[in-house]
Amino acid sequence: MVHTDVADVLIAGAGPVGLTAAVELRRLGATCRLVDRLPARLPYAKAVGIQPRTLEIWDRMGLVRAALEAAVPMRGQLTYINGAEQARLDLALPPEVPYGFAALPQYETERILEEFLTRFGTGIERGTELVSFAQDADGVTSRLVTPSGEEEVRSRFLVGCDGAHSVVRRELGLTFEGGAFPEEYMLADVEVDWDLPRGYGVRAMHHGADGAVDDLLVCIPLPGERRYRMSMLVPPELSASRQAGGGDRRRDGVAHGLEGGPTPSLSDIQAVLDRLAPQPTTASAMRWSSVFRISHRLVDRYGDGRVFVAGDAAHIHPPTGAQGMNTGIQDAYNLAWKLALAAQGAAHPRLLTSYDAERRPVGEEVVGRTVRHAAEGVQADPTDPATLLLREAQLLVGYRGSPIVGRPYPSRDNGPGPQPGDRAPDCGGLTGEITEYPLRLYDLLRDRGHLLLLYGNGDAGKTFDELATVARELSQDKVEACAVLADGEPAGTRLPVYHDGRGEFRQRYGVQDPTAFVVRADGYLGARLSPPTAQELAAHLAGVFRTG
């Protein structure tokens, strides 16, 4: 057996979640190995919905352009019940949100992330499976089965992004409570010749005499001419459970994901379209099809010691609202910056425990909401439509009350603005000392780690310089700093300066007086201090970084 000791982090599973973790670790200066048991990327359009928050994350990481060029817009949903068209759902977000909803096949998401990862000299080790591991006070020893034999790998941390049937979850002894839905579904990637509006999904249902849904067709647009990823109830002759003689064929008892056995034919898909399509149409050019099952489960904790789980290894649920992959990407994004600091010796000893504290409540809420929506429909949610849309876009995910964010800030007359633990909102109208064209705040955040964002006027310049020095020294140079000044104010500081020419920052962030915002590496506010003092800033940073 080969013995190696080469990585800060070993990541098992190279789907979108594992790739996100790997990219962020490498971008922030940590080393990692990324292994996957599959010999090649699967050509299936499984997860296709891309939420606006995921696009914001990809913007911060520096790869959003490739995703935007490969994706198609999701403008809304057309709903039909027993052939009658219902109210159209338009996916319209507030103008300050920089990205809308999109659709992108999972294999394209993986391609884009993998190609970006290669810029850091890291690739996927294909055909390599994690079979067991043991951890101690200093690291994790993992046993891999590779195409050339067995290998024992020593890493500081291990992250299981290995899906619903996770080896890492099983070996770590985490519970995975929940259940399975009795229905089975067909998935297919096909083209149709209807002339429905471009960029709209289709949900067509038939209600029986008892009012229950007894037939279903869901179509999500994909890149291509009238191309869709369709899902529908499976006919009895294709039922995976019937093929198995009833019961669950999974060794771990988790009935979730694509099933083996007979695959749907184009005629199976056409039969459903003949019953439910809003217009007469013919399906063609089927690229793939499968039968799949859905479960809803959540782990009891997102990690133990030096080992963590993310994505489907931690939570599985119905695909309603395209929440699964996007939630997993946020898991990885939240965890990666903390692991990078820990691997570099710059993290507070308790920083990694905040991963479970911040992400498990999110997973619990998503599982509960998607199960409810699967049973009752999104329209049955009592939340007002605007809030519902922001939640589905994952723009309301936040970490107020987290052990590593600051205390709430009292509201002012011009609005409270974001609180510690909230997503840092975007705004426009910023101009630099040299650039004449307006910038967005997210332009300042792109491809950075932590940022100390200081708002005020030119008179605060000396204080700003002192605060930036405190942040740099206490974080081992992990916190950068810049200033946003009211329009026309002199610089008065050695920091990079941007002017709030249109007052959008002041309005969006609810500021009038000098204020310091600590923007974390994942784009959430760690602290909001007004008036900012070196003592308060140091106290906050001491809970995140190793300062001694």
Question: So what's the pLDDT on residue 240?
Answer: 59
When pLDDT is cut at 50, 70 and 90, the band that residue 246 belongs to is very low
d(CA 99, CA 354): 28
Question: So what's the pLDDT on residue 198?
Answer: 93
CA distances from 87 to 77, 80, 81, 232, 452 (A): 9, 9, 11, 21, 45
Q: What is the pLDDT of residues 50-93, one digit of tens each?
A: 999 999 999 999 999 999 999 999 999 999 999 999 999 999 99
CA distances from 51 to 298, 322, 339, 392, 418 (A): 21, 8, 25, 8, 21
Question: So what's the pLDDT on residue 442?
Answer: 97
Helix 324-343 crosses helix 16-27 at what angle (to 10 degrees)? 30
Question: So what's the pLDDT on residue 83?
Answer: 93
Cβ neighbours around 33 below 10 Å, total: 22
d(CA 320, CA 535): 46
Give the list of residues 6+ apart from residue 473 with CB closer than 8 angstroms, or none. none
d(CA 11, CA 21): 8
Closest among 357, 348, 368 to 401, alpha carbons compared: 357
- CA 269 from centre of chain: 31
Q: Which of 30-39, 428-437, 488-497 has the lowest mean pLDDT?
A: 488-497
Question: So what's the pLDDT on residue 486?
Answer: 87
Kind of pairing, strands 200-207 and 76-81?
Answer: parallel
Question: So what's the pLDDT on residue 228?
Answer: 95
d(CA 114, CA 525): 29
CA distances from 197 to 78, 102, 193, 221, 286 (A): 9, 15, 12, 10, 21
Structural tokens at position 433: 């000392």
Whether the link from the prior residue into 531 is cis, omega within 30° of 0, is: yes
d(CA 343, CA 358): 20
Mean pLDDT of the chain: 91
Q: What is the dihedral of CA 38, 43, 48, 52, to 10 degrees?
A: 70
Question: So what's the pLDDT on residue 415?
Answer: 56
When pLDDT is cut at 50, 70 and 90, the band that residue 331 belongs to is very high
Strand partners, 84: 81
Angle at 385 between CA 382 and CA 388, to 5 degrees: 75
Distance in Å from the first CA to the final CA of the chain: 40
DSSP string, 239-272: -HHHHTTSS---TTS---EE--S----HHHHHHH
Closest among 351, 82, 56, 24 to 205, alpha carbons compared: 82
- Amino acid identity of residue 381, one-letter, is D
More confident residue, 434 or 8: 8
Contact 41/108 with Cβ under 8 angstroms?
no
Structural tokens at position 40: 């090649």
Spatial strand order of the sheet with 430-432 comes to 430-432, 497-500, 479-486, 450-456, 515-519, 525-529
Q: What is the pLDDT of residues 360-404, one digit of tens each?
A: 999 999 998 888 777 666 666 767 888 989 999 999 999 999 999
Write down the pTM of the prediction.
0.94
Question: So what's the pLDDT on residue 227?
Answer: 95
Question: So what's the pLDDT on residue 320?
Answer: 76
d(CA 431, CA 441): 10
Question: So what's the pLDDT on residue 413?
Answer: 46
Kind of pairing, strands 76-81 and 89-90?
Answer: antiparallel
Q: Where are the alpha helices (DSSP H) in 311-457?
A: 324-343, 354-376, 385-392, 441-445
When pLDDT is cut at 50, 70 and 90, the band that residue 247 belongs to is very low
Q: Where are the alpha helices (DSSP H) in 127-181?
A: 167-172
Contact 330/57 with Cβ under 8 angstroms?
yes
**pLDDT at residue 528 tops 70:** yes
More confident residue, 103 or 434: 103
- Tell me if residue 506 falls in helix, strand or coil: helix
Residue reference for tokens 């941007």 = 498
d(CA 505, CA 511): 8
d(CA 332, CA 121): 20
When pLDDT is cut at 50, 70 and 90, the band that residue 249 belongs to is very low
Identify the helix (H) or strand (E) that includes residue 164: none
DSSP 378: G
DSSP 438: -
Identify the helix (H) or strand (E) that includes residue 176: strand 176-191
Q: What is the pLDDT of residues 283-293, one digit of tens each?
A: 999 998 988 88
Question: So what's the pLDDT on residue 461?
Answer: 77
